A and B are shown apart, each in its own frame.
Chain A
């Protein structure tokens, strides 16, 4: 991409810079392409969201978005980069909450909510608390009762201090359970975690609707509750945790961030464009194909949720990591 974008992008950028200077000497933001650093390699979910937005963005921003890849450190490389970037509005980052909130805490990095300017959440995919259909837990209540009554229950997680682990910790806190009541099995990723469940080596996990849908249909898995504010179209009979009395909203949230100190009018320009992007038919079509919920595309509503997540995650994960 570097090669292609520099070959194609350089003359365009130069041309635009010259033209821009001639037509309008005042600061018209944006007057050149905005680079967006993706925190994971091309080809994954974050990249997919970036490409869906990028494809329609130039219609509403008068400039294009230039995808860049600053990967590594479980997503924190891009977040560190954007924290230190010049707040001129030409450098943004896109990452999920795993890289933007959870990994910085897990790695003990000197970052917090104020080090970034949240622009918009492109998508949110909630966790679904799921068991093997053969397990004794047929509801969240029976699971919590069992945990209260007897010894450690094994839970399969992607890794210690990852986004699904955090979801469990939120639930346990709401239920007044201590994390010591559980045996956390870290698998090193969502794929290996699912493998252990299908092979019958574990029975409890948080995963998203796309991953579990087939296994629910074939009777291997049983969804118990969704960690979102409303029920999912794929599983209309599965209650939300809020309905059950546990205020847990957790999942994978892919969002766009700017550097700290980005001026209010630039934030407003970007957010105005985001509000139009989320209505764009091409974007909606892409969301439909990938089973993403367009109502989770949040603009100004995103910042409070982001701050709340930082506060909760910092408290729960630091306790879980023992520091």
Chain B
């Protein structure tokens, strides 16, 4: 194993591979940082070019792009309140608050350090634990997915902001919007009003860009008349030394490690990693925190937890694809397609028959982790400069990027309409102090929840007990109940105390 890795390191340590990883990482950072443009799309567009270069040039390039893009999304989440991708929406909750408090560089460095640790965890799991993790992942059928998604939905408790009732309202709206489109099993149309554009459901990129990006621009526009000045609250903020930053990250080491484990484990299950794990990591971090009331108001842990988790997904998501030939999402499907185009068919013999290429690939995944840190660090000062742009200009650029990014997903002007409508929805929710996160979380998860429940029921002939007879499902369902009960208990106790102290609404 180790000899293989060392041999592979020698093979991969050539200028073409290193250049490919570096270029991929830089392109990924840029694409990820632009709202609406995601690493997924960048990979899809650029993957055909990898068909015509060697496997250890093209595929490392794509992996660099994936990792760079996943971190890059946090840059725009923190700096302009618009997540670059859906995977970075959880980072926004506290990252953007930190930036408003003038702590943009701390947030960015925290995100980068956490991404580094998460990424390293996922990569080590890929290299050393792939067969074992794949064996667990393969046990996850519709029943298990249903339980896991249900568990993830309980995180609504932790992202609802001040009012749980409003959070549940937002989550219900999210479920409602998720229902629009084609029924995942029978294929009947729901709430699409005969519009062909609605048959595929609402585009998640349009929804995210609208709810966060356009809504944020509207909020900012309110004060344009009064101050035409730059986003001045962070000018003059210098990037603190690496030592100090690592120190800050070290005090939250356990949060980062826990989140990396969450990202690695959920990431190894086909399909739901990048959208689920940041929220689970965020919720668990808040639950374990000594100062949960700080979350949503610029808590450092609220930035590092989701960022560690979403970068851990990058490498872990490749496990079921490489070991079983089962891609879980578009990203792994693209990587699989790129591998097949090189004559490398994923499946049980991939690793044993193409040992040198696959270990070269593993090594380049490891190199990409280093590249992510180096280029993330080097480009940091430029990102911060974004905040010196006068706000009317900055937010005009944001609108332009939102439009271009959303349009480019499907070349659909209908999606642009969806984006602007959700921009207004997001604005209204902000004004009414309704948290947006639960809506996005339930929008993303409701589809998987419905589909896995119904498929599970079809397979077990309508028997609901099947969900408890399968051991993994039963364990996750019990955990779900525990989270709900303890949250309810703590919430009740907090309110009682609040009543006694007479300051119910301050938490």
B-binding residues in A (CB < 8 A):
1-4, 41-45, 47-48, 51-52, 55, 68-74, 76-77, 80, 106-107, 159-161, 185-188, 191-192, 194-196, 198-199, 201, 210-211, 213-215, 217-218, 220, 286, 289-291
Contacts and interface: CB of A to CB of B under 8 A. Distances in A.
Contact of B270 (A2, A47, A77, A195): A195
Q: Which 5 pairs, one residue from A and one from B, show the smallest C-beta to C-beta distance?
A: A214-B347, A42-B44, A43-B334, A72-B200, A43-B44
Given A43-B337, A210-B340, A185 B51 contact: no
Contacts of B455: 186-188
Given A3-B404, A45-B337, A195-B326, A71 B139 contact: no
B447 to A, nearest CB: 11
B138 A218 contact: no
B45 A4 contact: yes
B48 A194 contact: no
B199 A42 contact: no
Nearest to A212: B347
B407 interface: yes
Nearest to B189: A107
Contacts of A210: 340, 345
10 contacts: A3-B404, A43-B47, A45-B337, A69-B410, A71-B410, A72-B410, A77-B200, A80-B196, A215-B348, A289-B343
A4 B48 CA distance: 14
B243 interface: no
A290 B410 CA distance: 27
Contacts of B324: 194-195, 198
Point out which of A41, A43, A52, A220 has the most chain B C-beta atoms below 10 A from its C-beta: A43
Given A68-B411, A214-B347, A191 B327 contact: yes
Contacts of B328: 191
A52 B47 CA distance: 12
A194 B324 CA distance: 9
A161 B187 CA distance: 9
Interface stretch (B12-20, B178-186, B211-219, B282-290): B178-186
A160 B187 contact: yes
B139 A211 contact: no
A70 B410 contact: yes
A209 to B, nearest CB: 9
B187 A107 contact: yes
B408 interface: yes
B416 to A, nearest CB: 13
A313 B304 CA distance: 52
B129 interface: no
Contacts of B54: none
A41 B184 contact: no
B320 to A, nearest CB: 8
A196 B142 CA distance: 10
Contact of B196 (A73, A201, A220): A73
Nearest to B48: A51
B343 A77 contact: no
Contacts of B451: 188
B333 interface: yes
A47 B400 CA distance: 28
A277 B170 CA distance: 54
Given A77-B196, A186-B455, A218-B349, A1 B45 contact: yes
Interface string B248-275: 0000000000000000000000100000
Contacts of B350: 214
Contact of A73 (B44, B199, B270, B334): B199
Contacts of A71: 410
A72 B340 CA distance: 24
Given A107-B187, A194-B325, A195-B270, A2 B347 contact: no
Contact of A186 (B185, B200, B326, B343): B185
Contact of A199 (B141, B182, B330): B141
Contacts of B326: 191-192, 194-195
Interface in B383-404: 404
Given A185-B458, A290-B341, A69 B411 contact: yes
Contacts of A45: 337
A160 B348 contact: no
A214 B349 contact: yes
B342 interface: yes
B439 interface: no
Contact of A44 (B45, B200, B337): B337
B181 to A, nearest CB: 9
B187 A217 contact: no
B154 to A, nearest CB: 24
A210 B346 CA distance: 9
Contacts of B45: 1, 4, 42
Contacts of A41: 44, 330
Contact of A48 (B51, B325, B343, B404): B51
Nearest to B340: A290
Contacts of A217: 348-349
Interface in B327-381: 327-328, 330, 333-334, 337, 340-343, 345, 347-350
A312 to B, nearest CB: 20
A218 B45 CA distance: 35
Given A42-B44, A71-B410, A187-B455, A195 B141 contact: yes
A289 B48 contact: no
A182 B358 CA distance: 41
Contacts of B410: 69-72
B57 interface: no
Point out which of B200, B341, B408, B459 has the most chain A C-beta atoms below 10 A from its C-beta: B459
A43 B187 contact: no
A3 B408 contact: yes
B184 A188 contact: yes
B43 interface: yes
Point out which of A55, A71, A191, A198 has the most chain B C-beta atoms below 10 A from its C-beta: A191
